[in-house]
Structure 1
């Protein structure tokens, strides 16, 4: 009897590892983020032309959110919001920007990311794809990731056949003619094989598909379609991503990890205008990437966790990218840091009561002048392009000029007008006053590059 009792902890640990459970009982977490994929690009969100059966199956087996907003309408600030739990009135990065070194401005080292929080809680952490928050010496290895592979700079990430990528902060040569996304998937499989088996893992997959340039080695999936090549490639890229997500799911099942792994799928911002028109990539919503109308910031969000998230659910809970950090903290049983803007949506996808709600959601977006140093340029290097706030069913948008003049507040009732077709500001001056009060208090003027002050 004593001997059986002595070996019992080891037997339990062996059984847990054999079934994909960690010794702590905490879930593994895989966060997949597409690049420039719109709300309407997936079959489960109404896309009729592009085939996405594996992502659709995630939605069928989990929860699909219809009122999820990205951190921003462009790449870099959206990623910081996601990783730090702060909206763009409080992030360091509030638009895309190129430093004098022709690379992304670095997210400050003191920013605490979800990877750092989970690493310190015993998780093995990895990032494979596009970082977009700083160049050499400012990569994911400095912000809590045990392993990283991919692009550091977002401009480099436009090239799907790069001469080099970065692995754990070191530049590594890529064989000529190699499609970067295929490397990302292979590195993902390697991470799952080589992870410490006695720890839970957090794997962040900010893949670059379907961001431009819109190229893919094999576009035969849509070769029969009488579409311009760019659109065939775009569709093929999304379907390739879908197939690779299917590979990841199959791998989890083979390794006995699927029952104890939370998978979240989303995008960093809305699709570009051409795809919004051709595929209805942004659904029925007005706007696109680089705008703060719904089409620029409304995105797909799917959460799947067998046994924890009831299958086949659709949620209208209003949530945003900066809510991801506290939600993942709660899933992992970790306390989120104080002072963040995010509110966990964990109660919603697990069916628990007590879901807290935001009094408002806030965005600000700075546009970058890529011709700022040309002799005939009369515009600043960047400027506050627009701000937006959602409170209740009201949405206010304010546009600004390069010289700082604000246009009148636009006001939309998203309950009756989700496509933002009718500005009702004149009919609701009291609501406009509420919006202005939020707009005047939601931002801190402490972002070094936004607006950029020429030294």
Structure 2
């Protein structure tokens, strides 16, 4: 708990600064954003892996302590209806980096293939995609990612080394990121041989902290994507971190499959969430130590909804905050994600946003902040007016999602009406097997009542948007 007061100290300092945004209904004076007159802000984006929206205290968790993350919510803005890029990892990360939703993104699924080095890599981001790291690098930023990449192999044109990141340390392939005591990690293009006794998340955390040190020493603003693999299955971590939770829950041992066996899966999951929280504290402490805390935009989120793998019981912890569905669903529990952003002097502490936003809004927001041109074809809109309270916030006409496992799924959200298309792969096969579900999220956020038969006009309206919402992918596996 030694870092618990870090954001409290920041909040006290921020109270003396000009603020912007809406703090629980109270308007604060906007702080103008002038990229010439002030230092460009650092950006730290903590991206967790399969963390449910209900797994942290700020969104309702009452069993697992998350004091550092909760402090982020008190120090900045907490979004209540923010969506991940997809309901699985690779496409969600592609959406975050490129600002294109899954109807246009270069990567739309978790598919992979084996390259010359014998590793099965996920499909690569196309080389022509412009990432947020490339945008920031063009503005003089040092750019780094530690943890999981999951968007192709390093030697490929679209791999991490060719997508605007100066530095990478961690798992290139998702298949390798499934285990926490690996035999290899990668530092840029170099394979780091390990003996299977080192906990990967500790290594990637240490390298994230070192990246901040190097960037500050070089006098550069920096962008760090801390892409932790926690709390994705398998449920395992160092014994000393398990001890505070051992014996505290009624357990059903997990016998193991692709993931390792775990006698106390509930204790392990709780300890993994606590480790995420501790790492947030370590990052905040490093920013304070290096004098960067007041000039850093700090963002916390998850790549999709909670998982049901490796022995995890999401219902026990209310991991999806009682929303319907989990990872691989297009129900709210699969795609609605925590999103908290802190920016001292620009975002009012303790503010709450009900603006409907998504991962594809991140890139245009960054472009707005650093005064960069938004790349062509981007689907997102800048959230900067919402963050700062300066200017009028544009709104999405609708949000679009697609997913290519389990028969294919699509979803459209417009004015809090949500249409889900199931068995979408049958559109070109047996259309009679395609099913539609319609929900009114304003009245029924848990998606308990399918009202498609009662509102056929609304179904038709959203179906038309769904059909127009995508372009054909070059990968035939990602088409309907």
Q: TM-score, normalised by structure 2?
A: 0.84
**Aligned residue number for residue 408 of structure 1:** 435
Q: Which of 219, 223, 227 does residue 206 from structure 1 map onto?
A: 227
| Structure 1, 323-332 or 354-363: larger mean CA deviation | 323-332
Give CA-to-partner distance per residue, 1:153-206, whole Å, 9 cap, x none. Answer: 001100111111111121111243000000011101111111153221111111
* Contact 1:327 1:346 survives alignment (8 Å): yes
Give CA-to-partner distance per residue, 1:116-135, whole Å, 9 cap, x none. Answer: 11101111100001000002
Q: Cα offset for 1:393? A: 1.1
**Aligned residue number for residue 240 of structure 1:** 275
Q: Cα offset for 1:152? A: 0.6
Q: Secondary structure, in 3 states, of the residue corresponding to 1:234?
A: helix
Q: Secondary structure, in 3 states, of the residue corresponding to 1:40?
A: helix
* Contact 1:22 1:198 survives alignment (8 Å): no
> Structure 1 residues 308, 449: CA separation in 2 closer, same or farther (over 3 Å shift)?
same
* C-alpha RMSD over aligned residues: 1.8
Q: Cα offset for 1:331? A: 2.2
Q: Which of 130, 133, 153 does residue 115 from structure 1 map onto?
A: 133
Matched ranges for 1:323-342 at <5 A: 323-342=361-380
Q: Cα offset for 1:28? A: 0.4
* Contact 2:410 2:421 survives alignment (8 Å): yes
Give CA-to-partner distance per residue, 1:13-62, whole Å, 9 cap, x none. Answer: xxxxxxxx999611000011000001100001000111100000011100
* Contact 1:93 1:450 survives alignment (8 Å): no
**Aligned residue number for residue 137 of structure 1:** 155
Matched ranges for 1:247-262 at <5 A: 247-262=282-297
Q: Which of 359, 365, 370 does residue 397 from structure 2 map onto?
A: 359
- Determine the C-alpha separation between the residues in 2 that align with 1:80 and 1:74: 11
* Contact 2:154 2:160 survives alignment (8 Å): no
Q: Which of 350, 371, 374 does residue 388 from structure 2 map onto?
A: 350
**Aligned residue number for residue 418 of structure 1:** 445
Q: Which of 174, 182, 190 does residue 210 from structure 2 map onto?
A: 190
Q: Structure 2 regions of 5+ residues with no counterpart? A: 1-34, 252-263
| 1:281 matched to 2:316 | no
| Structure 1, 316-325 or 399-408: larger mean CA deviation | 399-408
| 1:394 matched to 2:417 | yes
Q: Secondary structure, in 3 states, of the residue corresponding to 1:264?
A: strand
- Determine the C-alpha separation between the residues in 1 that align with 2:219 and 2:180: 35
| 1:431 matched to 2:466 | no
**Aligned residue number for residue 81 of structure 1:** 95
* Contact 2:97 2:132 survives alignment (8 Å): yes
Matched ranges for 1:109-188 at <5 A: 109-138=127-156, 139-188=159-208
Q: Secondary structure, in 3 states, of the residue corresponding to 1:81?
A: helix
* Contact 1:22 1:197 survives alignment (8 Å): no
Q: Secondary structure, in 3 states, of the residue corresponding to 1:443?
A: coil
